[in-house]
A = this chain, B = another copy of it.
Amino acid sequence: MKTFQLSENLLNRISDLIEEKKDTQLIKLVKDIHFADMAEIINELNQDQGTYLIKLFDSQKTSDILTELDEDVREKILKELSVKEIADEIEELDSDDAADILGELSDERKREVISEISDNNLVDDLKELLSYDEDSAGGLMAKELVKANENWSVTKCLKEIKKQGENVTRVHSIYVIDDKEKLIGRLSLKDLIASPNKKLIKDIYIPQVDSVDVNEDGEEVAKIMSKYDLEAIPVVNKRKQLVGRITIDDIVDLIKYEAEEDYLLAAGVQGDVEADDSIYELTKARLPWLFLGLIGGLGSVFILEGFEEVMSHPSYKTLFFFTPLIAAMAGNVGVQSSAIIVQGLANDIVKGSLINRLLKELGLSLINGIILGVFTIIFGLIIDLPLNLSITISLSMLCVIVVAALIGTSIPIILDKRGIDPAIATGPFITTSNDIFGIFLFFYIAKIILGF
């Protein structure tokens, strides 16, 4: 098996067949394509073509494709579908996917679609799921699960889980509840099959079970499931009643999504954008950080102006040639330090006091700074720079590197302690502040040493 590679060729053939309305040929061409790949194709088609194509499939495949589409493409296609059609798709889906799609509709449309759904249990489930925060355990969970009451007999339990199992794609665990719906344990299918028919569940279940609260943050759930290698985890409400279950495939999507967001944020791109988004969306994601960089850059104009007199000094003016180098070093060192700390905080491995952390970073940056400084002095000798100037530049750069490393280390830790996502600290924020600070420090120290 390989991941599907969408070719221009296939896309053109599909597009042509749609324009010519050759449905039989079209269906033959695409019928064996997986729904996740079908979604990729529809993402690339225009709105009319995409809507035309998605309507060719049966309800089950259409609904599966819908869940995999890009959000903006889905939004457009949903607009082309009738309330009845959307309701039909919703009924085919697992409750978590159904709630996600419903959640993207306008309040009015949402009500209309829900009123078209005939299954009252499903309506209740969807209303409940929609009531939770999107990024909480409740927003991630599905209502489909297999549960057994502790007072059931083995016979009754087997019959019941067979019935419940019909709605559940894959049974990860049978959860055991008491008469008040409280989650009290889990049951192994092996034990169930091996037990005498009349035995009660309360005599054979395993009373240990991990669960998460319905209001728990999704990222924390992801951390728990990946750390403890769980494939599914039950979700309980405040009264410890079993209300849903989260499976690992949803967590995989979440982990990937969060990682992408952090990666882009570190590069100064904010929000959930990708290469195929509109220029407007991309500008919105990029301009604010560029603007921050601009402000920082204009700030450094003032700092350099403050050292204008150096420009008229016959040999000290060389210092000006080193400003981009100093800015780059300050930025690079700061970003490195903060990225390592941000990553460590995300994995809970940054322990010990801030002071210890800073002492370590001090040692590290001194080593790096001295090595880079020696190299700079050698460079100075090669280009015939006066030795006192080379040494001054290297010493100032060393100070800049140390300070940049300390700033890069402490900002994320301080943000984290105040409950702010430290990921915003990496990237443009650190680079910009370190640029200004680095340039100032460089000239200031040089001024002290050279005495101009």
Contacts of A249 in B (CB 8 A): 226, 229, 231, 248
Query: Which one of A113-121, A147-155, A260-268 is at the interface?
Result: A260-268
Other-chain residue from B3, B293, B349, B435 in contact with A220 (beta carbon distance below 8 A): B3
Cα A104 to Cα B70 in complex, Å, equals 42
Q: Is the CB of A269 within 8 A of B339?
A: yes
Q: Does A375 contact B (CB under 8 A)?
A: yes
Cα A31 to Cα B323 in complex, Å, equals 58
- The minimal Cβ–Cβ distance linking A394 to chain B, given in whole angstroms, is 11
Contacts of A335 in B (CB 8 A): 267-268, 427
Cα A43 to Cα B347 in complex, Å, equals 13
Q: Is the CB of B267 within 8 A of A259?
A: no
Query: Which one of A74-82, A199-207, A362-370 is at the interface?
Result: A362-370
Cα A223 to Cα B253 in complex, Å, equals 11
Cα A348 to Cα B6 in complex, Å, equals 9
Q: Does A289 contact B (CB under 8 A)?
A: yes
Query: Which one of A15-23, A46-54, A278-286 is at the interface?
Result: A278-286
Cα A233 to Cα B225 in complex, Å, equals 20
Cα A226 to Cα B269 in complex, Å, equals 24
Contacts A1-B210, A269-B340; A332 near B289 (Cβ below 8 A): yes
- The minimal Cβ–Cβ distance linking A88 to chain B, given in whole angstroms, is 22
Contacts of A383 in B (CB 8 A): 301
A interface, size bucket: 35 or more
- The minimal Cβ–Cβ distance linking A427 to chain B, given in whole angstroms, is 8
Contacts of A363 in B (CB 8 A): 279
Other-chain residue from B231, B248, B344, B360 in contact with A279 (beta carbon distance below 8 A): B360
Query: Which one of A128-136, A174-182, A314-322 is at the interface?
Result: A314-322
A residues 80-108 in Cβ contact with B at 8 Å: none
Q: Is the CB of A264 within 8 A of B328?
A: no
Say what secondary structure dominates the interface of chain A: helix
Contacts of A2 in B (CB 8 A): 220, 224
Other-chain residue from B1, B170, B296, B372 in contact with A294 (beta carbon distance below 8 A): B372
Cα A436 to Cα B201 in complex, Å, equals 72
The contact string, 1 if C-beta is below 8 Å from chain B, for chain A 287-326, is 1011101101110110011001001000001101111111
- The minimal Cβ–Cβ distance linking A15 to chain B, given in whole angstroms, is 14
Contacts A266-B266, A274-B349, A372-B294; A325 near B344 (Cβ below 8 A): no
The contact string, 1 if C-beta is below 8 Å from chain B, for chain A 197-239, is 0000000000000111000000010011111110101000000
Q: Does A336 contact B (CB under 8 A)?
A: yes
- Smallest CB gap from A322: residue in B: B301
Q: Is the CB of B248 within 8 A of A324?
A: no
Q: Is the CB of A263 within 8 A of B343?
A: yes
Contacts of A275 in B (CB 8 A): 340-341, 343-344, 349-350, 357
Q: Is the CB of A336 within 8 A of B268?
A: yes
Q: Is the CB of A375 within 8 A of B294?
A: yes
Contacts of A308 in B (CB 8 A): 317
Q: Does A424 contact B (CB under 8 A)?
A: no
Cα A44 to Cα B153 in complex, Å, equals 48
Other-chain residue from B227, B360, B364, B431 in contact with A328 (beta carbon distance below 8 A): B431
Cα A301 to Cα B344 in complex, Å, equals 36
Other-chain residue from B190, B267, B305 in contact with A426 (beta carbon distance below 8 A): B267
Cα A33 to Cα B35 in complex, Å, equals 43
Contacts A3-B224, A259-B256; A329 near B290 (Cβ below 8 A): yes
Q: Does A428 contact B (CB under 8 A)?
A: yes
7 A-B residue pairings within 8 Å (CB atoms): A3-B220, A226-B249, A262-B263, A269-B336, A274-B347, A275-B357, A304-B320
